[in-house]
């Protein structure tokens, strides 16, 4: 094989080895379109998030609600609204993996200045398991994200800076695990950490990508290639 062809082959192999493949983790009712008691009509809402999402104060509590507000969603027709301090979560059922890059993306919305405060804090986080989640242990979103034994990473987005009836994708929350991880599932937390008013969420996405690994054998191959080229 000519050196140039060999270089092409090796470069192709290096590229395939280094470019890791992102895999989506399934998020059930990620867009809040499946509604308890039947599909929502325009202007309707439902307090019951089960069976897909669990909430701080139990099933069908009024502090979180799927709602159909015309022209106010980032995917489909429905989103979820959440009162000040409240939180919900979903256990993905997928075990945390070592050396993995997790990327959580959410749509965050501002309804009006009355329902979305100027200092809004729309919170999204990745947790290791669900131990003791619920009002008895964690009174509000700040309590959950303040516990580093439960919360791996969290982010806050100020939807109050948006125009009325606008959803945008908040910046990705990216968290990379190390060589060891808790024996827990990946859990998504959505919450409000504002002084008042609400937060609005839609279109929740989660990817997991292995940390690219350049093996010692790859370095060995590159070294051999270098020598091969010099000899010619």
Q: Which residues bind Ca ion (CB under 5 A)?
A: 29, 31, 33-35, 39-40, 47, 61, 64, 73, 75-76, 78, 202
Nearest approach in angstroms of CB 147 to Ca ion is 22
Q: CA 140 to CA 142: how far, in whole Å?
A: 6
Say how far residue 214 (Cα) sits from the centre of its chain: 27
Q: Which is nearer to Ca ion, 53 or 157 (CB)?
A: 53
| Shortest-Cβ-distance residue relative to Ca ion | 31
Q: How far is CA 3 from CA 37, 41, 219, in A?
A: 67, 66, 18
Q: Which is nearer to Ca ion, 152 or 204 (CB)?
A: 204
Q: Which is nearer to Ca ion, 104 or 152 (CB)?
A: 104
Q: Which is nearer to Ca ion, 64 or 90 (CB)?
A: 64
Nearest approach in angstroms of CB 136 to Ca ion is 17
Q: Contact at 8 Å (CB) between 132 and 87?
A: no
Q: Which is nearer to Ca ion, 127 or 204 (CB)?
A: 204
* Strand bridging mode 87-95 / 54-55: antiparallel
64: nearest Cα among 76, 80, 45: 80
Residues facing 185 on adjacent strands: 95
Q: CA 69 to CA 44: how far, in whole Å?
A: 8
Nearest approach in angstroms of CB 73 to Ca ion is 5
Q: CA 86 to CA 142: how far, in whole Å?
A: 9
Nearest approach in angstroms of CB 151 to Ca ion is 21
127: nearest Cα among 106, 103, 145, 105: 145
Q: CA 87 to CA 114: how far, in whole Å?
A: 20
Q: Which is nearer to Ca ion, 64 or 199 (CB)?
A: 64
Nearest approach in angstroms of CB 164 to Ca ion is 18
Q: What are phi and psi of 199, to 5 degrees?
A: -125, 155
Nearest approach in angstroms of CB 141 to Ca ion is 15
């Amino acid at each position: 094989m000519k050196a140039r062809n060999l270089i092409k082959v090796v470069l192709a192999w290096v590229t395939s080895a280094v470019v890791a493949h992102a895999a989506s983790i399934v998020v059930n009712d990620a867009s809040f379109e499946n509604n308890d008691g039947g599909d929502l009509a325009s202007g309707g809402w439902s307090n019951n998030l089960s069976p897909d999402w669990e909430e701080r104060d139990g099933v069908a509590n009024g502090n979180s609600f799927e709602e159909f507000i015309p022209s106010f969603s980032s995917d489909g027709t429905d989103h979820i609204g959440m009162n000040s301090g409240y939180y919900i979560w979903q256990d993905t059922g997928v075990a945390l993996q070592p050396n993995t890059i997790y990327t959580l993306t959410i749509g965050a919305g501002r309804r009006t200045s009355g329902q979305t405060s100027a200092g809004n804090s729309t919170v999204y986080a990745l947790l290791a398991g669900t131990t003791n989640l619920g009002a008895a242990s964690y009174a509000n979103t700040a309590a959950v994200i303040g516990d580093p034994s439960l919360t791996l990473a969290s982010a806050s987005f100020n939807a109050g800076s948006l125009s009325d009836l606008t959803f945008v994708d908040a910046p990705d929350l990216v968290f990379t695990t190390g060589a060891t991880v808790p024996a827990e599932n990946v859990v998504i937390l959505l919450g409000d950490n504002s002084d008042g008013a609400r937060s609005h969420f839609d279109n929740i996405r989660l990817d997991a990508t292995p940390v690219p690994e350049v093996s010692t054998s790859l370095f060995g191959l590159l070294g051999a290639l270098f020598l091969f080229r010099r000899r010619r």
